[in-house]
Structure 1
Amino acid sequence: MIFFDRLIVQLDRSVRVLTGTVRAARPIPKPENGTLRAALSTRDGRRAAALMRVNHAGEICAQALYQAQYCATRSAFLKPLLERAAREEEDHLNWTLKRLEALGARPSWLSPLWYGGAFTIGWLAGKAGDRASLGFMAETERQVTQHLERQLARLPVDDAASRAILEQMRLDEMGHAHAAHHAGAIKLPRPVRDLMRAAARMMTRTAYYI
């Protein structure tokens, strides 16, 4: 019964992730000055929407990765760490979706594909052992932090609302990487890191348009 209870919980979470019904525990970040600046031009609005669609797709992947790693490990120490990170990523998922809606845009049509692929990768990472799983978590969050820094540089100057969201996401991702390192993460081999980067690049370039 315990196994089936856990299976139902994970299936429920997967459905909520893919249907956009995940709730945020924290309010959506606002610009420091409390204003949203001027309305975006059509061109800037499209660019902001495409960038936020990429970030929303990334959060779909984050949910799948953490859920898979959580299911794969038997460590009573690692499970709470993964669960806490996944909860913060749920905030990110909700925030990016809300911002997409505000921009009059849609999520990626390939969300189920992103979720399934990321879940498979997360499961393999989890089965490689706890220190390797933590190393995967640390490297993922390091690459995500770099990605968000690039996204912030590409955002339209007047899109203060999206910028506030991405800034908080960047801080959270840095915290997840630090927590993984502190818990005993190993450094992944360079070929693995390069493969992770290539897979992320493929996803971001595709989700920008589709």
Structure 2
Amino acid sequence: MRHYSSIDRLIQSFDQGLRSLVPGATSAHRQNPAQDSQSDLSVKEARHVAGLMRVNHSGEVCAQALYHGQASTAKLPNVRKEMEQAAVEEQDHLAWCEDRLKELDSIPSLLNPMWYGLSYVMGAAAGIAGDKYSLGFVAETERQVSAHLEDHLRQLPQKDERSRKILEQMNEDELHHRDTAIGAGGVDLPLPVRLTMTGISKLMTKTSYYI
């Protein structure tokens, strides 16, 4: 097994960041769940759905950064591998959301670089705190992401099967990641940490919908 130097890992982190932030740089490994679905939206509905998908895309950018940050500071090799694998699976979500935004003639949030940087720092800090807290951070993150997805599913127009299929598969994956993190030894985070994560999530949601 190759051992990477600090410079190697720095280059990897930079490459991962670019792939998460540059449109078209990430490809899905799985088939888009909306491939065989239809969507018939009015201009107003399409604008609202684009806002929702922009929020979800930003959420996936944050997820990438969290996993990358945690992998960079995880102490146990198996935990680091778990974080890296989860980031790969989340790439599908990133690509699917980006595809849907293109279909809706819209673009990702312009604030994504800021969200990526903030999330990377939070992920790295969680990794430094210890693997059980790092895994607990994953579980709490995925719980909050799932709550957002379920809310967005309720807001989608009935005729928008394409967005619905994407969000349903994303939610299934997020819940799986949450359960995996808990099963691997993740612990509940202190209340102040959970409240801080919720506050940042709300700020991201409200701004990325428009910008």
Per the shorter chain, which TM-score range?
over 0.9
The answer to whether structure 1 residue 3 and structure 2 residue 11 are counterparts is no
Aligned counterpart for 1:36 among listed residues 21, 35, 38: 38
User: Where do 5+ consecutive residues of structure 1 fail to align?
Assistant: none
- The residue type paired with residue 73 of structure 1 is A
* Distance (whole Å) between structure 2 residues aligned to residue 197 and residue 18 of structure 1: 23
SS at match of 2:77: coil
SS at match of 2:106: coil
Provide runs of 4+ in structure 1 moved above 6 Å.
none
* Distance (whole Å) between structure 2 residues aligned to residue 137 and residue 175 of structure 1: 11
8 Å contact 1:66–1:83 — kept in the other structure?
Answer: yes
* Distance (whole Å) between structure 2 residues aligned to residue 15 and residue 57 of structure 1: 14
- The C-alpha deviation readout for 1:106-148, integer Å capped at 9, x for no partner, is 1101111111111111111111100000000001101111111
Aligned to 1:94: 95
* Distance (whole Å) between structure 1 residues aligned to residue 37 and residue 57 of structure 2: 23
* Distance (whole Å) between structure 2 residues aligned to residue 35 and residue 148 of structure 1: 19
Aligned to 1:27: 31
- State the Cα RMSD in Å: 1.1
Aligned to 1:74: 75
* Distance (whole Å) between structure 1 residues aligned to residue 75 and residue 189 of structure 2: 21
Aligned to 2:48: 47
* Distance (whole Å) between structure 2 residues aligned to residue 110 and residue 102 of structure 1: 21
Q: CA deviation at 1:204?
A: 0.3
8 Å contact 1:64–1:122 — kept in the other structure?
Answer: yes
Q: Normalization by structure 1: what TM-score?
A: 0.95
SS at match of 2:180: helix
8 Å contact 1:47–1:156 — kept in the other structure?
Answer: no
Q: CA deviation at 1:155?
A: 1.0
Q: CA deviation at 1:75?
A: 1.1
1:134-149 alignment runs, 5 A limit? 134-149=135-150
* Distance (whole Å) between structure 2 residues aligned to residue 9 and residue 113 of structure 1: 19
- The residue type paired with residue 26 of structure 1 is R
Percent same amino acid among aligned pairs? 47
Size of the alignment, in residue pairs?
207
* Distance (whole Å) between structure 1 residues aligned to residue 13 and residue 199 of structure 2: 28
* Distance (whole Å) between structure 2 residues aligned to residue 152 and residue 90 of structure 1: 20
SS at match of 1:188: coil
Q: CA deviation at 1:71?
A: 0.2
* Distance (whole Å) between structure 2 residues aligned to residue 152 and residue 135 of structure 1: 26
Q: CA deviation at 1:2?
A: 2.2
* Distance (whole Å) between structure 2 residues aligned to residue 9 and residue 199 of structure 1: 26
User: Where do 5+ consecutive residues of structure 2 fail to align?
Assistant: none
The answer to whether structure 1 residue 16 and structure 2 residue 8 are counterparts is no
* Distance (whole Å) between structure 2 residues aligned to residue 92 and residue 203 of structure 1: 17
- The residue type paired with residue 174 of structure 1 is L
